[in-house]
Chain A
């Protein structure tokens, strides 16, 4: 059924349909709309789930680790500072091989306080062992959340559904909401491979000596690799049932393109408009939308960019002392190709600033007119700031 939903509500609908059993959350703007509605669903009995109103994001993730280890499906949502506070336990959840699903609304990190979109919070969790999916619109949020449970439970790794603050979380769009029967068919009840069970007592997460620890980490690495294949299968199944498919990357007009934008999140939608304008002007341009950060779809990226001359990576994040983080990832993915496109890195929209079509066009022309990048990252749309002596 088509409904007009906020991105936040699209998440909540998916969580309801996934029959999550334990939800734990701590409020933080702009995640609140997700958990408020879930809390209401639990209270009203629209969901048969326990909602834990914990006293911090750290405790929130700890509670989910406890619940998921006991053998139920779990969910939480957070944002910015909250995600940063969870950091230790993100490692824990992955190391414990727990298929927890979390919605993460990208928010800039303080100081100063800034509640608007910025990807540095989720990208700072890149190495925690979580699968990360960056979504573009409300439909993708809903669909990805449903797929996330299935993927997490197959490979025993946690999944983070990432959505832009306000531009996606608080924006109403028409979203096709599947029926419960349809979802039940796609997503069977959670069957844990291990759980805390008094009939079969085990110790979860004990001291592990160097003789075993490295192999355990290697197994996580293998599971992450496997996740790419599994994601493909799950998307195929989802497409067969719902006729929607996103892919780990989406290539738009890349076949004949000389220059390709690489985008994530809602910037992709803006870029789609810019693409139309530029194509109308005869520019050979395309877009490669990245959905998966982890596992990183290196092969797919190489494949799609095989004949491209230049790529312009738009990063709404920054790794101080280096460059935009997606640009780094893309460079790393391409560098071992014998012939590969030149990577132009652009930083834009930090802390919720608009990434306008004009800005994206400027990026295009700058890329087209330069043989090599001026710098590893070019900060776009900076105001002039006077230094005070």
Chain B
């Protein structure tokens, strides 16, 4: 553990995140790694609320709340202004949820990284529109219940592979990270901070409220997502160089799904199918990383 980094704190108590909120854990980690010379662009997401109502802020860094779809663009402006003021030291961080990244903010994100704007975009992914009450997003995984995919109409479409989309932009650094692997997350954030150009980190941030899991299980679930290959930890440099950071032993996705209320309707057959999908994705990743020829 990078002790002195872990010891610093940029999130005040008293914020209004739900008990066990994974997004809040992710925020604490990322800010520890980035430090005080950071300006945050915060498009609409859970954290817009978590940070507290006027005149309160739970964050010890400057924050600009932004319209839902503007994470990439607003950050471009902040960066441009800082550059004009001669400040190249401060990190511009966009902190967006999956809705603001995969869906409504996708264009602005794609635009910003295509321009290779010098900023870090972090998507904390809780796999649905949680802030508005658990509606499905293009990040919602196959099999999940949400308030807009109810009953037998559960989501029967795959989650968008946002990381590969970003990799396709050939930006200097793309990584996945998990709240259950703090060392890895801190390292990647620091690496991103030291890399010039556009950086994207996709953080798996469990949501006890939306996933129908007990609050104390949120890190455990996040860890299982990695252990089951549902959310592999890897990083890609310059759109080409893949490094897989964690290779789990055989571990069945079934265990992960069983613990979550949002998947309780799934049959054994569904789970077998999901296992196949996960295996397929993992094989594909291994190919890209050069671990399979």
Return B213 CB to nearest CB of chain A, in Å: 26
Q: Are A54 and B73 in contact (CB under 8 A)?
A: yes
With contacts A62-B108, A63-B73, A198-B62 taken as known, whether A206 is within 8 angstroms of B80 at the C-beta atoms is no
Q: Which residues of B have CB within 8 Å of A204?
A: 62-65
- B218 an interface residue at 8 Å Cβ cutoff? no
- A109 an interface residue at 8 Å Cβ cutoff? no
Q: Are B64 and A206 in contact (CB under 8 A)?
A: no
Return B256 CB to nearest CB of chain A, in Å: 34
Q: How far is the CA of A335 from the CA of B90 in the complex (A)?
A: 55
Chain A residues touching B, range: 35 or more
- B77 an interface residue at 8 Å Cβ cutoff? yes
- A294 an interface residue at 8 Å Cβ cutoff? no
Q: How far is the CA of A209 from the CA of B61 in the complex (A)?
A: 22
Chain B residues touching A, range: 35 or more
Spot the interface stretch: A45-53, A253-261, A265-273. A45-53
- B85 an interface residue at 8 Å Cβ cutoff? yes
With contacts A59-B111, A197-B62, A202-B57 taken as known, whether A52 is within 8 angstroms of B76 at the C-beta atoms is yes
With contacts A49-B84, A50-B84, A71-B85 taken as known, whether A203 is within 8 angstroms of B65 at the C-beta atoms is yes
Return A216 CB to nearest CB of chain B, in Å: 8
- B168 an interface residue at 8 Å Cβ cutoff? no
Chain A 30-74 per-residue mask, 1 if CB under 8 angstroms from chain B, else 0: 000000000000000000111011111011101111111111101
Chain A 125-158 per-residue mask, 1 if CB under 8 angstroms from chain B, else 0: 0000000000000000000000000000000000
With contacts A62-B74, A206-B54 taken as known, whether A70 is within 8 angstroms of B39 at the C-beta atoms is yes
Task: Beyond A72-B85, A201-B63, list 8 extra A-B contacts (CB 8 Å).
Answer: A55-B111, A55-B114, A63-B76, A71-B81, A72-B81, A88-B67, A201-B36, A212-B54
- Which residues of B are interface residues toward A (Cβ below 8 A)? 36-39, 41, 48-49, 51-57, 59-67, 69-70, 72-85, 90, 107-108, 110-112, 114-115
Listed by A's residue number, 21 A-B pairs whose Cβ atoms lie within 8 Å are A22-B81, A24-B80, A48-B84, A54-B76, A55-B110, A58-B69, A59-B111, A63-B76, A63-B77, A63-B80, A66-B74, A67-B80, A70-B81, A70-B85, A72-B84, A203-B59, A203-B62, A203-B65, A204-B62, A206-B48, A206-B56
